[in-house]
Structure 1
Amino acid sequence: MVWLPLLLPFLAGPAAGRLAPSLHPRRAAWLLAGTAVGLAAASTTALALLIVPGATHLHAVAALGKLLTPLATGSPDSVIAVAVTAAGLLTWCALSLGRALHRRLTQLRRARRLAARADGELLVLRDDCPDAYALPGRPGRIVVTTGMLRTLSAEEREALFAHERAHLRDRHHLYVAAAELAALCHPALRTLREPLTYVLERSADEAAAAAVCDRRLTARAIGRAALASRAAATRTADRPGLALAATAGPVPRRVAALLGRPAGAALGRPGSPGLPRRLAAPLIAATLLACLALSAAATVEAADDLHAGIEAAQGEAPRSQPPTR
């Protein structure tokens, strides 16, 4: 059972890629971020559990745990090899998480210094390169360059600002941070970051369309902003890493979604060609939830088995059997 949490993330990645266009963006964001964090926690716990049997072959560990014999889970050589490998992977994860957290804190401090230059919600930078992004903080700011302001009309600017305002209001940077940290715990979880970024941008797109009451205007604003920033080869080195921009992600897919049905709209009537697509969202969501539930259950079961093995190695009677006389 202890190996199951290490294998299930390889199934969750392909399923997550199919979920993004099938489920409402806000619900998809919650599901993808929660799945990433849950699977990362389970896989990290599984690595820790794999260390214990091999560690009990050390006299100091056996004495500390009052073990009469090492845990009998296989040949000593294989058990120790697995424990050493798991310890190395867990150490690498811990170091990677530490560096990532330090980098995030540095970016957050930089964002706060940049936000302090604004008098209100909007911070205008004098730069001919078109760019605009949501800068998280307390409070968050919308940063836009003079080049972007000249590129868009007044109505398009309002739609763009509504998009960035949605990023700040819903704290989308926390979702991205959670996915990035989870990916450091298991390499297969890296595949969840792209669909999560897409649904976060789609969620902000829908919020902007609702704010300006015009989906076509929102699509035009996002499309023109993306084309302008890419045509001008916008320099993003000065943009804080935790900032979210309306020009990120697959813009053509987002624009097509805005010009089509609203998010969460019915995808077909029973018996119509759209039925398989309607069924895709619940089936894929059920797959991700099943991966999460199985991973958690397997981790708990493995921990319980390990605890029972430790009790047996200590010479105690199993909990499920009465003591012999």
Structure 2
Amino acid sequence: MMLLLVLAALPWIMSIALRTYCGPVDDDASPRATVTIIPVLAAVTAFAVAASTTSLASVLIASQPAIAVAAGFGMIGWVVYRLALAAGHIVRVVASSRDAAKFAAEADVRGGTVLVESTEPDAFAVASGGGAVVITTALVAALSDAELTAVIEHERAHLRFRHTFFTQTVELAAQFDPVLRPVVGHVRHAAERHADEWAARYDRHAAMSAVAKTVLLRAHLARHSTSLSSTGGDVVRRVRALTAPAPAPARRSVVVAALVSIAAFAAISLGLLDVAQDVIVPEVGENPTSVFR
């Protein structure tokens, strides 16, 4: 039983560790690694939390004390509730993707650029329907050629590196595990930083100017959008980072540690789910109460 409690606690400890990491650590050092590795870690952690809660609930429900049984059903209710939230998020994302797919249909080529007549200066990437970069006539008129190129390259980077997939992965993980909610903003900022660096590989000053000018142009707008845009993330940190040299790739030791953690928590999840299966539907010849020993 003690071993079960230790294993069940590990996913929650990992959730807290990821949440803590988002605070003091500046992801400007390796935004590409952050935007790809952290969402996978978050997803594996959220799945492990689900497995942990389910296994403990099954053990409590199978026990004798009424208060333990009640606690077990309460935990199952929490899991169902968080799963419903995650399902609702998926439905909203699918609906939004269908609406945005029309822009991709208007693009001349896959991942092409669509110019929209609008008085609002804006640019964003649409991942659905083959992908497209949408930019308004107001923003085109306000930027220089070099700045406009930087904005378009920034949005294309979101498509090229599938940032929407990774940001939605961590969003979905946070829908189930609320401890991971701060990680969402951390990953979204890293996605913007990664796209900034991609746009700045030829003209760093133009990329910095484009980010600063775009956010000033949009300062009066009170829009809330789930799309990845050139004004997302912590803009002050983004502009400051573009005044410095490009960040170095993540250290190999960091990548290896992340991969080991992902494998370990995947294994822990399977072990915890096996405990639940042993209690709920024990195999032939297996004592369903053996987990308490």
Contact 1:129 1:235 in 2 (8 A): no
Cα separation, partners in 2 of 1:205 and 1:235, compared to 1, 3 Å: same
1:229 aligns with 2:207: no
- Indicate the RMSD between aligned Cα atoms, in angstroms: 3.0
Cα separation, partners in 2 of 1:259 and 1:111, compared to 1, 3 Å: same
The amino acid across from 1:109 in the alignment is R
Contact 1:134 1:165 in 2 (8 A): yes
Question: Residue 297 of structure 1: CA displacement?
Answer: 5.1
Query: Structure 2: where are the runs of 5+ without partners?
Result: 1-6
Q: Deviations over 1:224-268 (max 9, x none)?
A: 1111111xx23636x5x3x210111111111111111211179xx
Contact 1:8 1:291 in 2 (8 A): no
What count of residue pairs does the alignment treat as equivalent? 281
1:21 aligns with 2:8: no
Q: Deviations over 1:106-125 (max 9, x none)?
A: 00100112332344512122
CA distance in 2, matches of 1:22, 1:119: 34
CA distance in 2, matches of 1:101, 1:317: 37
In terms of mean alpha carbon deviation, does 11-20 or 305-314 score higher?
305-314
Partner of residue 89 from structure 2, selected from 97, 100, 104: 100
Question: Residue 312 of structure 1: CA displacement?
Answer: 11
Structure 2 counterparts to residues 4-83 of structure 1, below 5 A:
4-21=10-27, 23-56=29-62, 72=63, 76-83=65-72
CA distance in 1, matches of 2:289, 2:36: 44
Q: Which residue pairs with 2:133 in the alignment? A: 142
1:216 aligns with 2:216: no
The amino acid across from 1:28 in the alignment is T
The amino acid across from 2:58 in the alignment is V
CA distance in 1, matches of 2:288, 2:121: 70
Partner of residue 161 from structure 1, selected from 145, 149, 152: 152
CA distance in 1, matches of 2:106, 2:189: 30
Question: Residue 282 of structure 1: CA displacement?
Answer: 6.0
Q: Deviations over 1:291-323 (max 9, x none)?
A: 6566445444544555666579954897xxxxx
CA distance in 2, matches of 1:165, 1:316: 55
1:245 aligns with 2:229: yes
Q: Deviations over 1:167-226 (max 9, x none)?
A: 11111101111011000111111111111011111110111111xx11111111111111
**Greater helix proportion:** 2
CA distance in 1, matches of 2:55, 2:186: 31
Cα separation, partners in 2 of 1:140 and 1:302, compared to 1, 3 Å: closer
CA distance in 2, matches of 1:229, 1:307: 53
Contact 2:133 2:155 in 1 (8 A): yes
Contact 2:8 2:272 in 1 (8 A): yes
Find the residue that maps to 2:8 and give its secondary structure: coil
TM-score by length of 2: 0.84
Query: Structure 1: where are the runs of 5+ without partners?
Result: 57-71, 267-277, 319-325
CA distance in 2, matches of 1:86, 1:316: 20
Question: Residue 85 of structure 1: CA displacement?
Answer: 1.6
Partner of residue 179 from structure 1, selected from 161, 170, 177: 170
Q: Which residue pairs with 1:64 in the alignment? A: none
Contact 1:179 1:193 in 2 (8 A): yes
1:85 aligns with 2:74: yes
